[in-house]
Structure 1
């Protein structure tokens, strides 16, 4: 992992998207290593660690099971949002705004058509300015003021 290059890329973008298969209720090991190596103390968090403040953070994950298995009483007992709390806290710690994630469910049985539709949905999701609740609220308030 070229830490300097990765940090440079993070600085160039306002919306950071982590795309990965949800692996044993977490990130794959290489992504965890990336987080450990790139989001360093004094750069991403801690004393003077403000380089990511104000950026947006989005997860784009795929899971093998159906959506109904990720809820209280479901096979996995917890929602995706509950299972991704450590990554949400990573966003908080580094001063990023955690946005609604994109999830591809049923990945192990998805057809080519479903995968294609999911890819299109992912692009729409991560490009949507209103994904940021502050932007969405501002738009709603503007619409109300015009009425």
Structure 2
């Protein structure tokens, strides 16, 4: 079955990395369904049943987003609250995520060193993203880990080395997804 990639980025048109990742995903429509939350719900009113049906129609679930204040964009948090409901995602009868492979794909403005015990933030992305992992595990899904791009805020598209790194990252993202 196809993988559902739920993309949450309020400024996707000006994004460099997330937009590049979307371009790469769209080369494989037989493998990935791209679902952009800000385009689907510009007013923020999420249709939970429609989202649940979309998840159920796919084999795997990936959440793609930029790190916002060491979490996700607010619309993704709302989506999780509205869609991962008792009786559907968890609880005595909530089994729709059980054993479903899940993962994250994130972009971080800071460098890999910034996101380390020695760096200015003192915590790695694994620790920062642990609430997402915990949510997935609580719902019984088969959490696979995360794919990350570091240093987005320090680069410009005028830098040829950055563009090469961006292309390698997009290809690496597809490889990551193919291993789910």
Q: Determine which structure has more spread, i.e. the larger CA radius of gyration.
A: 1
Between 81-90 and 5-14, report the one with greater CA deviation.
Answer: 5-14
Shift of 1:14: 2.1
In 2, Cα distance between equivalents of 1:113 and 1:8: 38
2:112 matches 1:112: no
Q: Does 1:101 align with 2:152?
A: no
What TM-score results when the alignment is normalised by the length of structure 1? 0.83
Say yes or no: does 1:31 pair with 2:76.
Answer: yes
C-alpha distance in structure 2 between counterparts of 1:86 and 1:47, whole Å: 22
Q: Which contiguous aligned blocks of 4+ residues in structure 1 show a shift greater than 3 angstroms?
A: none
Structure 2 spans left out of the alignment, 5+ residues = 1-45, 156-161
C-alpha offsets along residues 7-45 of structure 1, whole Å, 9 cap, x if unaligned? Answer: 011112222110000111101100000000000111101
Tell me how far apart the structure 1 counterparts of residues 163 and 82 of structure 2 sit (CA, whole Å). 35
Q: Which of 100, 124, 138 is the equivalent residue of 2:175?
A: 124
- Give the TM-score, by structure 2 length: 0.68
**What is residue 90 of structure 1 aligned with on the other side?**
135
Higher helix share: 1
Tell me how far apart the structure 2 counterparts of residues 48 and 9 of structure 1 sit (CA, whole Å): 19
Matched, 1:79 2:124: yes
- Please state whether the residue corresponding to 1:89 is helix, strand or coil: helix
* d(CA) in 1 for partners of 2:107, 2:82: 24
- The SS at the match of 1:99 is strand
Distance in 1, Cα, partners of 2:101 & 2:120: 31
Q: Which stretch has the larger CA shift, 105-114 or 27-36?
A: 105-114
In 2: Cα distance, 1:63 partner to 1:30 partner: 18
| 1:41 correspondence with 2:92 | no
Aligned residues: 129
- Deviation (angstroms), 1:47: 2.5
Structure 1 vs Structure 2 CA RMSD: 1.2
CA distance in 1, matches of 2:88, 2:60: 18
1:70 partnered with 2:121:
no
More strand by share: 2
